[in-house]
Amino acid sequence: MGSMKTSAFCTFKYIFIIFNVIIWLIGCGLFSVGIWMQVNTGPYINLLPSHYVFGATAIICITGVVALIIGFCGLVGGIMESRLCMVVYFVFNIVVFAAEITIIAIGFSKKSQLQSFVKEELMYSLEFSHNPDIQSNKREGVDNVIDYIQQDLKCCGINNYTDWFNHPAWPGKSYVTDSCCLHEGEECGKSSTAVWFRRGCKGEIDYWFIQNMTALGISALMIIVLQVCTMAASLCLCWGFREDKFRN
């Protein structure tokens, strides 16, 4: 009976170690992506203002570092059977768990402010896009992204196609970009409204988020359950290491 318990405990420990190797590798990947985003100077990385890019890369790098620490503590704790590493592992998971719950709560409470922020950023991008007075990689990135969004979501402008009227690219004209056309073609944005998408992109983006809320909710729930399981596993291993120490 004792040998069966020992065998089961060893199997459990090795599964825990393998899991934390994966977490450590994910941390390496996230940290590498964050560094790459920070040093990359391509047009798409310049789509947002610099402080947004820095904020995004900082979050990715911090997430990667936290995953590295958690994975390392779990890996070393499992191999060395270190109760100290298990305690550090548990504490880090608790902190991350609390941070996730806080972010989710803030996200739900600030939903309307977030929607207003998205709309303001879209309006800024629309005014910036296709502006002949601005020649830069950043503008090219904005042009490509705005065109892609309008074609992919089959929408035009923020509220509707009239948002493009009197644009700096065609002052005093009721034109839209060619990506607003039902069938995109050269200078189709200067033709009749009958060939343009009628709906604005703000409503389509909101609808896209609503459609994906279920998937996001399930993903968040799975992550939370996984974290609870890993925290419980670390406590079980910590207790098992303690019993082994007393037996020896």
| pLDDT digits (tens), the chain, 248 positions | 445 457 777 888 888 989 999 999 988 988 888 887 667 644 444 445 555 555 667 778 888 898 899 899 998 988 888 888 888 899 988 988 888 888 777 767 776 776 677 677 777 777 777 766 665 555 666 777 788 888 888 999 888 899 899 888 788 888 998 999 998 788 898 888 889 999 988 888 777 777 766 676 777 788 888 888 888 888 888 887 765 554 55
0.85 cut: is pTM over it? no
Whether 137 contacts 46, CB under 8 Å: yes
CA 35 to chain centre: 16
Distance CA 16, CA 137 (A): 46
Whether 197 contacts 156, CB under 8 Å: yes
CA distances 36 to 30, 39, 238, Å, are 10, 5, 37
Place of tokens 């599964």: 15
Render 171-190 in DSSP notation, one character per residue: TT-----GGGBSS--TTGGG
Distance CA 21, CA 179 (A): 46
* Tokens (6 digits) for 179: 């990506």
Distance CA 178, CA 211 (A): 27
Distance CA 97, CA 224 (A): 7
Domains and CATH numbers, the chain: 2-110+217-247 (no CATH), 113-202 (1.10.1450.10)
For 200, phi then psi, to 5°, come to: -80, 155
Amino acid at 168: P
Whether 66 contacts 92, CB under 8 Å: yes
Distance CA 229, CA 53 (A): 34
Distance CA 168, CA 129 (A): 9
* Tokens (6 digits) for 133: 């007075």
Burial class (CB in 10 A: 0-12, 13-18, 19+), 10: exposed
- Predicted pLDDT at 156: 92
CA distances 161 to 50, 171, 181, 186, 224, Å, are 29, 15, 10, 17, 42
For 187, phi then psi, to 5°, come to: 60, 25
